[in-house]
Each structure stands twice: as C-alpha cells, then as structure tokens.
C-alpha cells in the first residue's frame, strides 16, 4: 500500500482487481491461443517434403508462439474492459474520476518489448534465409531448367541426358537447383510441399534450390496470375529413390533419342 498525493491509500498496481483479472485471462488465453493457432496452421500446411519446408513450418510455430502472448495481452485487456461495468442508453455515462493522458512507463515498456520482438522475428528470419539459400551454392546439386509458358510448366534436365518432361522426377536427398524462366508473361514456380517458390520472369532466369527429403508425389502450382488458365498451370513432382530416378531418366532419355 502506498499513499498518493491527495493522501488516499493506493493499492500497488499489480494488486488492483482489473489488473489481476487481466493477468488471469492472459495466463489462460495465451496457451489456448498459441496452441490453437499453431496447430491449425501447421496441420493445414501438411507434411513437409524438404528441410526448407520443415524449417518454415517451425518458423510459423515460433512466430505464432511469440505472437500469442502479445495478442493474448491485448485480448485480455479488452476482455477485462468488456467485463467491467457498461452503460447503456442514450445518455453518456459520467466522465471518469481521473483521466490518465499518459504513462511514460507503459509507453516505454510497450515500445521496448515490441522492438525486441521485432528484432527477434528479424533474426530468426535471417537465420532461416541463410540456411535455406545454402543449397543454391551447392556444387553437387543437380540443375534443372524450368520453363513457364502459358499455361504449362516444362522441365529440361541439364545432366546431359537431354530429357525434357512435363512431370518433374527428382531423386530423394539430392540437392537440386532450378533455373526458372518464362517465355511469355510472369509466372511463379511453387513446389508446395517443399516450401520453395520463385517467379518465372520473361527475359530473365531466376534461381531457387531445395533438397527433397521425402519420397512421394507433390504439387507444383503456378503462384502468379498468368492469364486465362492460370488455375490449371499445375503438375506433379515425383520424388523417388536414386535407383528409381536413374531408371526413369534412362527410359526417358531412350524415348527422347528414339523419337528425336
């Protein structure tokens, strides 16, 4: 207890009823909000098919759990306000006893905490970017040229086999660099479950890279409106074992040669 300027005994701020109520709501709401938002998002994204996607899903987890207490605090305070006495009708309630126009402590705390959280988000993001772009400079990576055309993706394997295909076959656990371009308008090459995307620009070649780490069939979708049939500019990525991939490439190369 302390005594304020006018001699009235004041409870310390954290013992005040509305503060305690806010704290309680906050403590209960944060895990609920965090868990619910994280689970819904993570489940919607599905199973990752690459290290990059797994790290992105993890990033969403981290960000969501970092944001949860912040959102929760705002909602808890709003909740406490809503639970306090409300006035209805056409005449306004009486004005407050003491109107606070400022609180340097609250201001400073709020700004500092939000700055720290921003910095945290930035650093986490930067670390992830560095890690994800490592594959781009991997000398052992295989290279595939991706051409976006209204409204079909086609792939050129540049490993000397001369194989060209509309379906992407990749060996598991092997890094691959995609050189992406377009022959007409802007498209965007997106391998959904591997979490990589790069625009296909006419006249330029852009790059992205990934190491698929799961065997299965995944989706390539165009992520930039490119005209009439943008919605259908999709095909599949088959990630197979090295042996299966070698067999496929050989068969395709034979087909290319036979039908040249």
Partner 1 sequence: MTTTLNRPAASSHSAPKRALIERLNIFTALALGVISAVVIWRLALQFLPQDSEEAIFFNREDKITLLSMIAWFIGFMTGIGALIGPFRWLMGKDLSHDENMFYAGKDMGVKRYFRYTTDHKVVGIQYLVVTVVLFFIGGVLAMLIRTNLGNPEGGWIHPQAYNAIVGTHGIIMIVATIIMITGPFGNFIMPIMIGARDMAFPRLNALSLWLVVAAAAPILWGLAIGGIATGWTAYNPLASQAPLGQNGYIMFICIFAISTMVAGANITTTVIRMRAKGMTWNRTPIFIYGVVASVALALPAFPVFFLSQIMSAMDRAVGTSFYDARHGGSGWLYENLFWLMGHPEVYVILLPAVAALMEMAPVFTRNPLFSFNIAVMGIAGISGLSALVWAHHMYMSGWAPLLNIPFMLTTELISIPTGMLFLVLIGTLWRGRLWVTMPMASVFALLWNFMIGGVTGIYLSDIPADAFLHGSMYVTAHFHYTLMGAGLTGAIASLVYWFPKMTGRIFDAKLSWISFWMVQIGFQIAFMGMFIVGLAGQPRRVEGYAETFNTGNMVTTGGAYLIMSGMLVLLYALIYSWRNGEKASTNPWHSKTLEWTVANPIPLENFDVLPTLTTDAYGYGKEIR
Partner 2 sequence: MAKRLVGAIATVAAGALFIAGLGIYVASAKNDDTLLKASAAGTMITPKGTMPHFTLAIQVYPDSMSGSKGPDGGAHPGWVAYGPSTNFEVPANSAITITVTNYDGGESLNNDFFGKIRGTIDGTATLNGKKITSVPADAVGHTFTVHGMANGQDELFFSVPMRAVPEEAMPEEGYTKTPNVTVFTIITGDVGEYIWNCEYPCGDGTIAKFGNAMSTMSYMSGHFNVVKA
Site for partner 2 in 150-169 (CB under 8 A): 150-152, 154, 156, 164, 166-167
125 or 227: whose CB is closer to partner 2? 227
Which one, 78 or 255, has the nearer CB to partner 1? 78
Token readout for 27 is 């403590």
Of 31-39, 53-61, 170-178, 232-240: span binding partner 2 (CB under 8 A): 232-240
Judged by CB under 8 A, which of 128, 185, 215, 249 binds partner 2?
185
Nearer CB in complex with partner 2: 154/173: 154
Least distance (Å) from partner 1 to the CB of residue 158?
Answer: 19
Inter-residue contact 134 to 175 (CB < 8 Å): no
Least CB distance to partner 1 at residue 129 (A): 5
Q: Which residue has the tokens 């606070």?
A: 100
Q: Does 205 participate in binding partner 2 (rule CB under 8 A)?
A: no
Closest CA to 152 of 97, 226, 45, 84: 226
Residue selected from 96, 129, 139, 228 as contacting partner 2 according to rule CB under 8 A: 228
- Residues in region 19-38 near partner 2 by CB under 8 A: none
**Distance between CA atoms of 62 and 38, rounded to whole angstroms?**
9
> CB 170 → partner 1: shortest distance, Å?
18
Least distance from C-beta 3 to partner 2, angstroms? 54
Nearest approach in angstroms of CB 254 to partner 2 is: 10
Q: Across the strands, what pairs with 199?
A: 188
For residue 152, the cross-strand partners are: 149
- Cβ-based nearer residue to partner 2, 70 or 249: 249
93-124 burial by CB neighbour count: b if 16+ within 10 A, else e?
eeeeeeeeeeeeeeeeeeeeeeeeeeeeeeee
Question: What does 13 interact with, of partner 1, partner 2, none (CB < 5 to 8 A by kind)?
Answer: none
Cα(246)–Cα(40) distance, integer angstroms: 39
* Residue 259 contacts which entry, partner 2, partner 1, none (Cβ below 5-8 A, type-dependent): partner 2
Interhelix angle 104-132/51-83, nearest 10 degrees: 160
Q: What is the DSSP string of 154-218?
A: EEEETTTT--EESSEEEETT--EEEEEEESSS-EEEEEGGGTEEEEE-BT--EEEEE-B-S-EEE
Q: Taking CB within 5 to 8 Å according to partner kind, which of partner 2, partner 1, none is near residue 40? A: partner 1
165 CB contacts (<8 Å, ≥6 apart)?
A: 154, 155, 157, 252
Write out the residues near partner 2 by the rule CB under 8 A. Answer: 147, 149-152, 154, 156, 164, 166-167, 183-185, 202, 219, 227-229, 231-232, 234-236, 255, 258-260
């Amino acid at each position: 207890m302390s005594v304020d300027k006018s001699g009235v005994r004041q409870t310390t701020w954290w013992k005040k009823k509305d503060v305690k109520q806010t704290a309680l709501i906050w403590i209960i709401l944060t895990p609920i909000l965090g868990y619910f938002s994280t689970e819904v998002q993570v489940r919607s994204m599905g199973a990752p098919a690459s290290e990059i996607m797994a790290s992105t899903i993890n990033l969403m987890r981290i960000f969501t759990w970092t944001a949860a207490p912040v959102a929760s605090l705002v909602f808890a305070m709003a909740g406490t306000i809503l639970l306090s006495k409300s006035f209805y009708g056409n005449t306004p309630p009486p004005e407050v006893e003491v109107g606070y126009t400022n609180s340097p402590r609250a201001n400073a705390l709020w700004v500092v905490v939000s700055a720290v959280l921003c910095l945290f988000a930035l650093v986490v993001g930067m670390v992830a970017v560095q890690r994800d772009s490592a594959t781009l400079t991997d000398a052992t990576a295989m290279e595939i040229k991706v051409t976006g055309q209204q409204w079909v993706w086609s792939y050129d394997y540049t490993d000397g086999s001369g194989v060209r295909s509309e379906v992407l076959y990749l060996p598991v656990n092997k890094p691959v660099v995609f050189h992406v371009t377009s022959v007409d308008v802007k498209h965007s090459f997106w391998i959904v479950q591997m979490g990589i995307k790069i625009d296909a620009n006419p006249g330029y070649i852009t790059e992205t890279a990934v190491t698929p780490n799961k065997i299965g069939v995944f989706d390539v979708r165009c992520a930039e409106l490119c005209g009439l049939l943008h919605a259908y500019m999709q095909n599949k990525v088959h990630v197979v074992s090295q042996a299966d991939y070698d067999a496929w490439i050989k068969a395709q190369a034979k087909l290319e040669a036979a039908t040249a």
